[in-house]
Amino acid sequence: MDDFSMLPASADDDHLREECGVFGVFGHDDAAALTALGLHALQHRGQEAAGIAAHDGRQFSIERHMGLVGDNFTRKAVIDRLPGRRAIGHNRYATTGGVGLRNVQPMYAEFAGGGFAVAHNGNLTNAMTLKRELQRRGSLFQSTSDTETIIHLIATSIHGQLLDRFIDAIRRIEGAYSLVALSEKKMMGCRDPLGVRPLVLGKLDDAHILASETCALDIIGASFVRDIAPGEVVIITDEGIESFFPFERQRSRFCMFEYVYFARPDSSVDGRGVYEVRKRIGAELARESGVDADVIVPVPDSGVPAAIGYAEAAGIPFDLGIIRNHYVGRTFIEPTDAIRHMGVKLKHNANMGVIAGKRVVLVDDSIVRGTTSMKIVQMVRDAGAAEVHMRIASPPTTDSCFYGVNTPEKAKLIASHMSVQEIADFIKADSLAFLSIDGLYRAVGEAQRDNVAPQFCDACFTGDYPTRLADFEDRGKVQPLTRLAEAS
């Protein structure tokens, strides 16, 4: 039993988790197969479940499965069940509602005007509030996901045309959303007015493609056309592509953590190459808090580009002093404390030859609860390091995300209640330093953070949320809205 609870809700896991990936193809004979490939490239954004909805000009077909794309969408029989030249897909890591199949996307509904499927990356901060209102007016929800709210808002809109109903719906939701949707005649894409989550437009022959990141265009050989702009709605039909801006223009607030951790390094999101930004982050870190050392060692995988940038700027050799087991996923779930403590060893091991007798600088992208850092510092010491210095390629993570990244609640974030020195003592490092917030802004090409009108969302480092958090403020007053066990 669970309610329609808004994150942070991942009380029992260790790390920053993923978010979601969205993908869509309009106008290609192999639409479903291309979507499966796109989702495979976006697998790092969500590993709990995946789904594809296709349309063949006559009817919709949908396949939604728990687990990885590679385990569910590689068989020809599955792809054959998704006929048509249009398809959208989704990789999920839950942020609102449980992990069960009924919350897996794309979500599908039948409106008076026809079928409609939608895939959402992000998290709505007023979904619970809207859901209560919609239920009072008679809406019957089938899931506990925030995304379903969008469907009910479209269904109950007073407007006639789907585009007007869609715009009506997105004007009522708050928070972060990159959406890809499919109706009988159109594929639609949009980003929330602050552009918190990424969405790019691509082209493959005559087909239009929408994807969370450019790595999903690369895998199918599509060319990158442009980013969808914050607050933009694109409508793709057989006649071509049209663009609408239904919101008042405001300064965008793209998620800084996409650059720090989430996006794939070979992607470009919101106009910047992720790998280059991460290397610049590492260089800023070296300039801000350099230390005498013999070797720079990344904590794989996400610490690697920053460590390369650090090593280049510091003029100290880079080496792979920690090896990662690739058969442990990015989000290995460790259900108990005892197993959790084994967890990091399952994933990482020290490469003794690189470390023994050396003064080591370890570079990781972030510290969430401190579990990874503590284990890795110990591992490197056990491998014979003379000194172990930890350098973190982002500021301390002090606040939870409400915009589609599954973070532990604030109290579980080590930096919410410990100073840098206290964290250094906790992880038993000889020294510890985080990147400054202005260092992070410099790495993405800004002179510094504009504290009056910040150029990015950086709320997990600053607590400065770019939208109101209606549901969270309401928490405690809200009764559970489902009696159905979440797993079903």
Ligand X SMILES: O=P(O)(O)OC[C@H]1O[C@H](OP(=O)(O)OP(=O)(O)O)[C@H](O)[C@@H]1O
Could you list the active site residues? 20
Three-class DSSP category at 300: coil
Q: Using a CB cutoff of 8 Å and minimum separation of 24, what contacts does 299-303 make?
A: 299/348, 299/362, 299/363, 299/364, 299/365, 299/372, 299/373, 299/376, 300/324, 300/348, 301/330, 302/261, 302/364, 302/365, 302/366, 303/362, 303/363, 303/364, 303/365, 303/393
In the bound state, the residue with its beta carbon closest to ligand X is 372
Is the separation of the CB atoms in 397 and 86 below 8 Å? no
Three-class DSSP category at 442: helix
* 13 vs 19 by CB, closer to ligand GLN: 19
Q: Is 255 annotated as a binding residue?
A: yes
* 236 vs 429 by CB, closer to ligand X: 429
- What minimum distance in Å lies between the beta carbon of 309 and Mg ion? 16
- What minimum distance in Å lies between the beta carbon of 347 and ligand SF4? 22
Of 1-9, 43-51, 113-121, 399-407, which segment contacts ligand SF4 by CB under 6 A?
Answer: 399-407
Please identify which residue in 190, 444, 460, 469 interacts with ligand SF4, judged by CB under 6 A: 460
Mapped to the 3 state alphabet, what secondary structure does 226-251 carry? EECCCCCEEEEECCEEEEECCCCCCC
Rounded to whole angstroms, the Cα distance separating 119 from 106 reads 5
Phi, psi angles (nearest 5°) of residue 103: -95, 0
Partner whose binding site includes residue 255, from ligand GLN, Mg ion, ligand SF4, none (CB under 5 to 8 Å by kind): ligand SF4
Check residue 255 for interaction with ligand SF4 (CB under 6 A). Answer: yes
Partner whose binding site includes residue 122, from ligand GLN, Mg ion, ligand SF4, none (CB under 5 to 8 Å by kind): ligand GLN
Total residues binding ligand X (CB under 6 A): 19
Of 80-88, 108-116, 133-141, 363-371, which segment contacts ligand X by CB under 6 A?
Answer: 363-371
Is the separation of the CB atoms in 295 and 316 below 8 Å? yes
Of the candidates 26, 29, 94, 88, the residue with the CA atom closest to the CA atom of residue 63: 88
Check residue 257 for interaction with ligand SF4 (CB under 6 A). Answer: yes
Q: Is 364 annotated as a binding residue?
A: yes
Rounded to whole angstroms, the Cα distance separating 448 from 137 reads 47
Partner whose binding site includes residue 61, from ligand X, Mg ion, ligand SF4, none (CB under 5 to 8 Å by kind): none
Please identify which residue in 48, 63, 148, 458 interacts with ligand SF4, judged by CB under 6 A: 458
* 96 vs 394 by CB, closer to ligand GLN: 96
Three-class DSSP category at 90: strand
Please identify which residue in 144, 147, 302, 400 interacts with Mg ion, judged by CB under 5 A: 302
Q: Is 302 annotated as a binding residue?
A: yes
Known binding residues are: 255, 302, 364-365, 401, 457, 460
Kindly list the residues in this chain that would bind ligand SF4 in the complex (CB under 6 A): 196, 255-257, 401, 403, 405, 457-460
